[in-house]
Copies of this chain bind each other. A is one copy, B any other.
């Protein structure tokens, strides 16, 4: 029986990590949980986010996964250390991979970070960047208006452009050469964000980078799947399974042969 990669998120945002794991590690089976009934996590108190994250981990751990990815920046900031101590398998958050990629990508040392209120308030990106290099200069900005756009499936629209433009205005005055998309929902809006920021600013997707580091960690533990069996993925959410399925089908379209069934779990707590 193939051991899976478990991925959890506050909602559909973690599907950006799922898409990249499917692309970079097509042999691996994925089990996903999106807490769509309680999204967004960004404005919630840290203790509550920690509790919700633990409930998802308790659910996913039953499937005996080989690794858990906390594919939500808010949950990573609130619960990564706690969950890492609680379970005996590797737990990967999305903040450090994004920070490492930005350090690797920046030429000027001026790095921008956007994220939810919870992520930005935690200072976790700044700490991760400064832990790596004292020479990096970080400017961060909370963007609470962006997650709701994605959870409604509004990836490209006039409203989307307007909201993104208004939201990013404060960060445009800084001379950054790369911008960390410090929320796994943001890659859904990548084209619009790139248009607004201009071509000189390199966007770093913490989602893409986390998929890549998962590959690194599984390789170094000798845990990469070797077989040629097509993996059967499993998707779970706590809210409306039809909306979730529609977004999953639209976003994962190229990666999956058929729209996966989405199971709704309503008694997480």
CB distance from A232 to the nearest CB of B (A): 17
| Neighbouring B residues of A96 by C-beta, 8 Å | 216, 219
User: Within 8 Å of chain B (Cβ to Cβ): is A27?
Assistant: yes
Contact between B228 and A134, CB atoms less than 8 A apart: yes
A216 to B90, CA, bound (A): 13
Q: Report the stretch among A142-150, A175-183, A207-215, A259-267 that lies at the interface.
A: A207-215
A206-233 Cβ-contact flags toward B at 8 Å (1 or 0) = 0010011101110110001010100000
Report if A133 contacts B (CB, 8 A): yes
A211 and B132 CA atoms in complex are apart in Å by 12
The SS class assigned to the A binding surface is helix
Assess whether B216 is in contact with A217, with CB atoms less than 8 Å apart.
yes
10 additional contacts, CB 8 Å, given A213-B216, A217-B220? A20-B104, A24-B100, A25-B132, A27-B133, A100-B212, A100-B215, A104-B211, A104-B212, A131-B226, A134-B228
Chain B residue at minimum C-beta to C-beta distance from A96: B219
Q: Range of interface residues on chain A? A: 20 to 34
Is A135's CB within 8 Å of the partner chain B? yes
Select the residue from A20, A211, A215 with max chain B CB neighbours within 10 A: A215
Please state if B24 and A132 are interface contacts (CB–CB under 8 Å): yes
- Whether B217 pairs with A24 at a CB distance below 8 angstroms is no
Some 5 contacts from A to B, beta carbons below 8 A apart, are A20-B104, A26-B135, A100-B215, A100-B216, A104-B212
What is the minimal beta-carbon distance from A31 to any residue of chain B, in angstroms?
20
Q: Which residues of B contact A133 (CB under 8 A)?
A: 24-27
User: Does A103 belong to the interface (CB within 8 Å)?
Assistant: yes
Known: A216-B213, A216-B216, A217-B216. Contact between A132 and B100, CB under 8 A?
A: no
Q: Which of B27, B97, B103, B220 contacts A134 (CB 8 A)?
A: B27
Chain B, residue nearest A128 (CB): B219
